[in-house]
Amino acid sequence: MRPAALLLVLALVLSACGKGDEKGGAAAAPATSGPVAPPPNADPAEAAAAAVAKFSDEELVGQVLMPYAYGNDATNVTGASAKENNAYAGVASPADMVKKYKLGGLILVGWSADDPTGGTNKTTNVDSPEQIRKLTDGLNRAAGVKLLIGTDQEYGAVTRIRTGIVQLPSAMAFGAARNPAATEAAWKAAGGNLAALGINVDFAPVADVLGPRGSGVIGSRSYGSVPADVSAQVAAATKGLTAAGVAPALKHFPGHGHTTADSHEELPVLAQDRAALDREDLPPFVAGIQAGAGIVMSGHLDVKAIDPGTPATFSSKVLIDLLRGAMGFKGVVVSDAMNMAPAKKWGPGEAAKRAVLAGNDIVLMPPNLKQAQKGLLDGLKDGSLPKQRLVEAATRVLTLRYKLAAAPQPEMSILDSEADRAAAQAASAAAVTVFRGRCSGPLVTGGVTIAADGKWGTQKEWLTAALAEHGIQVRSGGTTVRLIGYNDGAASASSKDVTVAMDTPYALRQMQGTLVATYSSSQASMKAVAAVLAGKAKATGRSPVKLDGLPLSACT
């Protein structure tokens, strides 16, 4: 055969090999997708800039997209998951999604009835540590270079992974404990656990400062209502996660705490003037940035003092002029979930383009990945999205990927170690606050009855076991200990009852009897409050939010 003919045959064979049908109906993707690993000891920013300079439009767009996916395995998914992935992205599996769209990142999601963010999470793919590690390994193999794999592990009401790894108390519990060093140690332990699972981005800590009216959707996700105190806690959590090789994402910029609406369902208004914004909302973000936070999440918030009527997610005045210009942030800006109501004012493609134009480097959880990609590509073609803006965003994302990929991944054997649990227990114990009641000796004697909504059955079991360790039996009669948690209203209580608030303490304002707060419903928090109830430990916590008619603590 003549050389020219041989080359033609070889080309036809290779072409045929590339046209095999996938489950998703698209041509088979290559084994890996996107950039290759940089040379050893290369500067991440320089290596990223060099790689991005060679990217196609599709590769540029892929870097700025961080979707979710259906299925708890990278390649082997159920028929139902494959159907949902095809509707969302035109592919069958998470790995196919990474390869087809040349993604820079992917978010792992979970759903629970008591999660204030649950409405945006359409699936669950965080079942167990072993499953998560297998999933993230498969995703990274598909990508070639480690992806940004994130999740919302705030602890407290928003906790995606609830078993097999260390469980910290809520942010508000850390605020009540008032010990930034302990906060940093606990978050370093948590970060190490996440890193072992292959998760290198945590959409935490929440840097929102609560206003005097509180915020239903933020609540105990915040460290409190005093900007300086919140700043210290945010900086500590940021340092802890960063030291563990996990990129923290400060949220929700420029601050969701002085709003009362839920941005999952409507556009909340941040009504204070610029001086109040600088004084009350921005300090924790400044502190987190100075502590080394690599990511800031923009909020779906109407910031009246800066760009009235435009959600901050889509406002260059907020993200470029304020965050990058006035505050000097040089890292990655990620949008809040784009499947939330304020972002769905436009279609997925137009919303994605507007978000990038406004200054976001990552478009998080677009409601339809196919349409989001098309909107960005169309913007490049017609000039409405300048290529340089996309190059800038992709370079920031890839720089962070390279930085995080250089960190060694911990072994699974480190998960939920004795030292990790001790760090969580210390913070939980320091948080317990008595608002009304004795400050020494037991708060209950003899037997007790535990009353709680049925959804707190696990907490009742934990508290029962913890009380038994102190010689207090749970039985009919005796003092009633009432547990109230997230989304529970004030329960009727007599002057002889003990009420324990496992989330924000606001409901205690309307209640009688002995009033105690743990701010969190973790097992460590139940052990901590059991020790206080039995008189074996003092309640050293101090409320990080003010309650009308009650002191910040009756005991400190």
Query: What pLDDT, on a 0 to 100 scale, did the predictor assign at position 361?
Result: 98
Nearest to 186 by CA among 143, 148, 240: 240
User: Start-end ranges of CATH 3.40.50 in the chain?
Assistant: 432-533
Query: What pLDDT, on a 0 to 100 scale, did the predictor assign at position 124?
Result: 83
Q: Are 546 and 528 in contact (CB under 8 A)?
A: no
CA angle 253, 257, 259 (to 5 degrees): 100
Query: What pLDDT, on a 0 to 100 scale, did the predictor assign at position 212?
Result: 85
Tell me the average pLDDT of the chain. 91
**What parts of the chain have a pLDDT lower than 70?**
1-34, 111-122, 260-266
Name the active-site residue from 252, 256, 264, 300.
264
CA distance 171 to 206: 8
Q: What is the DSSP letter of 271?
A: -
Query: What pLDDT, on a 0 to 100 scale, did the predictor assign at position 115?
Result: 60
Q: Known catalytic residue: 264?
A: yes
CA distance 366 to 342: 12
CA 527 to chain centre: 26
User: Start-end ranges of CATH 3.20.20.300 in the chain?
Assistant: 55-412
Query: What pLDDT, on a 0 to 100 scale, did the predictor assign at position 477?
Result: 77
Strand, coil or helix: what is 96?
helix
Q: Are 102 and 58 in contact (CB under 8 A)?
A: yes
Query: What pLDDT, on a 0 to 100 scale, did the predictor assign at position 114?
Result: 59
pLDDT tens column, 472-511: 999 877 899 999 998 887 777 777 899 999 999 999 998 9
Q: Are 505 and 219 in contact (CB under 8 A)?
A: no
Structure tokens at 485: 């948690």
Q: Which residue spans within 129-220 are E strands per DSSP?
A: 148-151, 153-155, 158-159, 201-202
Which residues, 6+ apart, have CB-to-CB distance to 464 below 8 Å?
450, 474
Which residues, 6+ apart, have CB-to-CB distance to 187 below 8 Å?
168, 205, 236, 237, 239, 240, 241, 244
List beta partners, residue 452.
Answer: 483
pLDDT tens column, 126-167: 999 999 999 999 999 999 999 999 999 999 999 999 999 999
Q: Are 363 and 65 in contact (CB under 8 A)?
A: yes
CA angle 436, 437, 439 (to 5 degrees): 115
Which residues, 6+ apart, have CB-to-CB distance to 213 below 8 Å?
260
DSSP-assigned letters across all residues of 400-464 = HHHHHHTSPPPPGGGTT-HHHHHHHHHHHHHH-EEEES-SSS-S--S-EEEEE-GGGHHHHHHHH
List beta partners, residue 150.
Answer: 107, 201
Nearest to 64 by CA among 499, 358, 473: 358
pLDDT tens column, 232-260: 999 999 999 999 999 999 999 999 998 86
CA distance 174 to 381: 49
Name the active-site residue from 336, 361, 488, 497.
336
Q: Are 282 and 327 in contact (CB under 8 A)?
A: yes
CATH of region 55-412, choose from 3.40.50.12280, 3.90.1150.10, 3.30.420.40, 3.20.20.300: 3.20.20.300
CA 544 to chain centre: 21
Find the helix or strand (DSSP H, E) in which 515 lies. Answer: strand 514-517
Find the helix or strand (DSSP H, E) in which 290 lies. Answer: helix 283-290
As a CATH number, domain 432-533 is 3.40.50
